[in-house]
Amino acid sequence: MSAATVASPPGRPSLAGDSLTLTYRALAHWRRDPGPLAGALAFNILIVLMFAYLFGGALQVPGGGSYREFLMPGMFAMTMLFGISQTTMAVSADAERGVTDRLRSMPVSRLAPLLGRALADMLFAVVTLAVMLLAGLAVGWRAHGGPGDTLAALGLILLLRLALTWVGIYLGLVTKGAGAVTAVQTLEFPLGFLSSAFVAPSTMPAWLGAVAEWNPLSATVGATRELFGNPGWGGEGWVAAHHPLLAVLWPLALVAVFVPLSLRRYRALGG
Amino acid sequence: MEHAIIAEGLRKRYGDTAALDGFDLRVPPGTVCGLLGPNGAGKTTAVRILATLLRFDAGRAEVAGFDVARQADRVRYRIGLVGQRPALDEALSGRENLVILGRLFHLGRSQARARAGELLERFGLADAGGAPVRTYSGGMRRRLDLAAGMIRTPSVLFLDEPTTALDPRGRNEVWESVRDLVRAGTTVLLTTQYLDEADQLADRICVLDAGRVIAEGTPDALKSRLGGDRIDLVVRDARDLATAAERLRRVATAEPVVDPDRRAVSAQVDDRAGALTAVLRALDADGVTVADVALRRPTLDEVFLRLTGRPTERVDATVEVPA
Ligand SMILES: Nc1ncnc2c1ncn2[C@@H]1O[C@H](COP(=O)(O)OP(=O)(O)O)[C@@H](O)[C@H]1O
Ligand SMILES: [Mg+2]
C-alpha cells in the first residue's frame, strides 16, 4: 500500500499549488456549510431594502437626484467592508483549532495559508458583488456610464475588498475568539458609517466630515459614483476632485502595509 | 541514524517562566518515548520545538537526522504532529480532511485520494469517511487526527496528550492505533499526564518537571529504582486505621500514607514477604480486622511523588493552556 505512495520523492512546496489547495479547502468548507455565507448575503440584501424603503424617504441627496442611485455605490463598498469579519473569523478559528499549527508543522509554503484565504475570500466577494448588483437593479439603481466605466467601478470595489482582506487576515492573526469579533466590529463601524456611503460629509460637523472625506471607503464610493454616473454629494476640496486616484492609492497602500505585517506575524507565531 | 530525536540543553523562556530549562532527550528509532509530567511541566513546549513550531532560546535539537532550526523543511517532510486538541475541519468529511492534507504534503491528486482511503481503512473510519467530522465521537476524531499525522508515514510522530478528554473506550482505540504505528517502524514521542498511559505504551519514560527531565528509564527500571514494593492495607473499622499505620511504620522504609476515605494505609517496604507476615501477625494480635491486603509495585504516581516531593496534579483537560 503506502510503500509506493510514501517512498516517492517528496514534491516541493509550491506557493501557487499550496495556496490553491487551501483555497479549495475554504470552498469545500462553504459547500458543506453554506449557512453563514447565505446569512451574510441575506444581511446585505436586508440592509439595501432597509435603506431603500425605510430610511430612504427621509434622506436627501445634496445635489438632488434619486437616493437609491446615491445609496447603491455606498452599499457595494459597505458589503466589501462587512466581508472582513468572514476573513478574520476564518483566520482566527484556524489558529485556535490548531489547524494553523498543523500547517506550520508541514512542508507548506509560508505565505500559502494567507494567500489561499485571500483568494477564497475574493471569490466570495465576486459572488457578493453580483448579488448586490442584482439587488440594486431590483430597487431601481442603474449604471449610466459606458461598459468600460462600469467595469472600472467594479474593479475598484473589488480592489477595496482585496485590501480589506489583508487587514482582516492581519486582525485574525493578532486576535483570538471573541477578541476577533470585537476587533472587526471596532473597525467596521467607524470605517463604514464615518464615510460618504450613506450621508454627505458636508452634513456632518466639520472635523467628522474631514475624517469621512479621507476615509478609504469614501474614496471608492466617490469614484464608483462618478463611474456609474450616480449622484454624488458634490464637494469642493482636493479629495472630492481626486476620488479615482485615491480609490486606487488607498487600497494599494493598505496592501503594501498589511501583507508584510501579516506575513511577519505569521512567521512570529513561532515565538 | 542512531537517534530519531535528539535534544540537548533546550531552553525556552516566556517572560519569567522557564518553560524548558535545559531539556535533554535521546530517542532511538522505532521506539516510543513517554514524556510524563504534570500540567505546566513543559511537555507541549518540548513537542512544539521539536515539531519546528517554536523557536527556542538555547540548545540544539535534531529530528529524523535533521537540525530542527536550520533544516526545518526537511524535518517537516518526516514528522507527524498530533496536537493536544484535534486540528480538523469540522465541516468537512474525514476523507476531505485527509485528501487536503495529502495535497499539502504534495502527493498527487490520485495519490492523495488513495492514501486517504488507506488511512481511513486502517483507523477504522472507512464507513464514517464521508460524514462531516462534527458528527464523529471523541475517539473517532482522535483517530482521524492520528491518521492526519500519518499521511506521509512519518519517521517521527509527536503525540501531545493524545487521550486527554477521551473516555476509556476512546483511549483504548487510540492506544491500539499507536501500537500499530510503532509496529510499522515509526518513532513516537508521546506526552501524557496519565501514568498508566506511559506505562502501557512507552519503551522509555522521561519524567519532566519544571522544564527539565528529572528521571529517565524503562517503566520497570524507574519503578524499581525509585522505591521497592509496597504493602496496601484496608482495615474494616476506620478506628483501627491509626494502629494499622503504626504497625506498618515499623516494617516500612518510608512514612506510610493514610487514606481515610478508603480506610487504607500504604507504605514502601524492603523485605516483601517478611514485612507482610510481620505486619499481619501484629495486627492480628491487636485484634484489628484487615479487610484487604495487597503487595504490589509502586505506581508511577508514587514515583512522581518521590521524585519531586509533590503529588502530580491531575488537571481537567478543559482548563489547559491552549497549545
Ligand atoms: N505562549 C505562552 N506564553 C506564556 N507562557 C507559556 C506559553 N506557553 C507555555 N507557557 C508556560 O510554560 C510552561 C510550560 O507549558 P507547557 O509546555 O504548555 O506545559 P505542559 O504541556 O507540560 O502542560 C507553563 O508554565 C506555561 O504556563
Ligand atoms: Mg501541554
**ipTM of the complex, rounded to two decimals:** 0.86
CB B88 within 8 A of CB B145: yes
Of B77, B93, B107, the CB nearest to A5: B107
Cβ partners under 8 Å of residue B191, min gap 6? B34, B35, B36, B37, B43, B44, B46, B47, B159, B160, B161
Q: Hey, whose CA ends up nearest to atom 7 of ligand 1? A: B14
Residue A115 maps to a domain: yes
Nearest CA, atom 6, ligand 1: B14
Is residue A153, in this structure, part of any structural domain at all?
Answer: yes
A62 in any annotated domain: no
Give the model confidence (pLDDT) of B113-141 as tens digits: 999 999 999 888 999 999 999 999 988 99
pLDDT digits (tens, 9 = 90+) for B80-110: 999 888 899 999 999 999 999 999 999 999 9
d(C-alpha A151, C-alpha A176), whole Å: 38
A77, A160 Cβ separation under 8 angstroms: yes
* Count of the separate structural domains present in chain A: 1
B321 ligand 1 Cβ < 6 A: yes
Tell me if B49 CB under 6 Å of ligand 1.
no
Question: Which residue's C-alpha comes closest to atom 12 of ligand 1?
Answer: B19
pLDDT tens-digit map of B153-208: 899 999 999 988 888 888 888 888 889 888 888 999 999 988 788 888 999 999 99
Name the segment(s) of chain B with CATH classification 3.30.70.100.
228-297
Instruction: Choose which CATH entry (3.40.50.10490, 3.40.50.300, 1.10.1030.10, 3.10.105.10) describes domain B5-223.
Output: 3.40.50.300
How far is residue A132's CA from residue A126's CA, in Å, rounded to a whole number? 10
Domain-located, residue A25:
no
Average pLDDT score, chain A? 89
Q: Count the helix, strand and coil residues of chain B and give each as a percent rounded to the nearest 5.
A: 40, 25, 35
- For residue A124, being part of any structural domain is answered with yes
Looking at ligand 1, which atom is closest to the CA of residue B320? 23
Whether B41 lines ligand 1, by a CB cut-off of 6 Å, is yes
In angstroms, the CA B34 to CA B189 distance is 6
**Confidence bin at B318 (pLDDT 50/70/90):** very low
Backbone angles phi, psi at B33, to 5 degrees: -110, 125
By 3-state DSSP, what share of chain A in percent is helix, strand and coil, each rounded to 5?
A: 80, 0, 20
Which carries the bigger pLDDT value, residue B305 or residue B138? B138
Q: Name the residue with cell 538555547.
A: B58
pLDDT tens, chain A, 271 aa long: 333 334 444 566 789 999 999 999 999 999 999 998 999 999 999 999 988 888 776 667 766 778 889 889 999 999 999 999 999 999 999 999 889 999 999 999 889 999 999 999 999 999 999 999 999 999 999 999 999 999 999 999 999 999 999 999 999 999 988 888 898 988 888 888 888 888 788 888 888 888 888 999 999 999 999 999 998 877 778 888 888 899 999 999 999 999 999 999 998 888 7
Tell me the nearest-neighbour CA distance from A98 into chain B, angstroms: 5
Q: Is the CB of B40 under 6 A from ligand 1?
A: yes
- Chain B residues with CB under 8 Å of A96 CB are 322
| pLDDT score, position A235 | 72
As its CATH architecture, domain B228-297 has: 2-Layer Sandwich (3.30)
- Containing domain of residue A242, as a range? 37-43+78-268
Contact B19, B12 (CB under 8 A): yes
Mutate to test the pocket of ligand 1, among B36, B45, B158 (most ligand atoms within 8 A of CB): B45
Residues of chain B within CATH 3.40.50.300 domain(s) are 5-223
- The Å distance, Cα B219 to ligand 1 centre, comes to 26
Q: Answer yes or no: is A32 within a domain.
A: no
Q: What is the chain A residue with the closest CA to B93?
A: A32
Q: Is residue A19 part of a domain?
A: no
Cα–Cα distance for residue pair A74/A93, rounded to 1 Å: 30
